[in-house]
């Protein structure tokens, strides 16, 4: 009788472990999350313990037409990247537990899975209305207005 309860306990522990691990094992975005993590971009699970929450704004113009940043860029099942966009407004949400962590424009483009360089195009960037040549190395700050203009 005692062995029966031991086996039931072992079965329950194994079943619970499988239930907890299953979402991570079957997540179709695990390679994307790994790529972000390899770049130093972590997942945040909630807004609790957030020490930094800033909102730069990105406008991308290609041949005079606005390019939309897709809704939920940086948001996949079980992961919201430290840099993400909830909607197509161009507002980038930078949220992290590390108050001193800095993110560059290239970090958002990596999360977006886009290249900052477009072959055959000349790129001009303004930040808060001033021409800026930092491009991918631009450290993003709160309420910054970043405009990327691509032209042939």
- C-alpha to C-alpha distance for 52 and 98, rounded to whole angstroms: 7
* CB count in 10 Å sphere of residue 122: 9
User: Which pLDDT belongs to residue 11?
Assistant: 64
Provide the residue range defining the domain that includes 123.
34-151
Given a contact cutoff of 8 angstroms between Cβ atoms, the answer to whether 113 and 82 are in contact is no
**Do residues 21 and 70 share a domain?**
no
**Do residues 60 and 9 share a domain?**
no
**Do residues 19 and 41 share a domain?**
no
**Do residues 40 and 107 share a domain?**
yes
Mean pLDDT of 100-113: 96
| Residue 85: CATH number of its domain | 2.170.130
**Do residues 20 and 85 share a domain?**
no
**Do residues 129 and 59 share a domain?**
yes
**Do residues 16 and 78 share a domain?**
no
- C-alpha to C-alpha distance for 73 and 67, rounded to whole angstroms: 14
Q: What is the pLDDT of residues 130-140, one digit of tens each?
A: 999 999 999 99
- C-alpha to C-alpha distance for 78 and 66, rounded to whole angstroms: 30
**Do residues 73 and 117 share a domain?**
yes
Q: What is the pLDDT of residues 18-57, one digit of tens each?
A: 556 555 555 557 888 899 999 999 999 777 788 999 999 9
> pTM of the prediction?
0.80
**Do residues 49 and 21 share a domain?**
no
Question: Does 17 have pLDDT greater than 60?
Answer: no
Mean pLDDT of 63-91: 94
The residue with greater pLDDT, 144 or 1, is 144
Q: How many domains does the chain have?
A: 2
Given a contact cutoff of 8 angstroms between Cβ atoms, the answer to whether 113 and 75 are in contact is no
């Amino acid at each position: 009788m005692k062995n029966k309860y031991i086996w039931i306990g072992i079965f329950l522990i194994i079943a619970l472990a499988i239930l907890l691990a299953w979402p991570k094992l079957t997540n179709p975005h695990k390679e994307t999350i790994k790529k972000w993590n390899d770049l130093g971009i972590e997942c945040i699970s909630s807004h609790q313990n957030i020490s930094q929450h800033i909102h730069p704004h990105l406008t991308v113009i290609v041949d005079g037409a606005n390019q939309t940043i897709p809704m939920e860029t940086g948001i996949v099942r079980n992961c919201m990247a430290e840099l993400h966009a909830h909607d197509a407004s161009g507002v980038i949400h930078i949220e992290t537990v590390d108050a001193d962590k800095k993110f560059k424009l290239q970090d958002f483009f990596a999360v977006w899975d886009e290249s900052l360089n477009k072959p055959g195009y000349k790129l001009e960037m303004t930040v808060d209305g001033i021409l800026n040549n930092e491009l991918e190395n631009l450290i993003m700050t709160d309420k910054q207005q970043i405009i990327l203009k691509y032209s042939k």
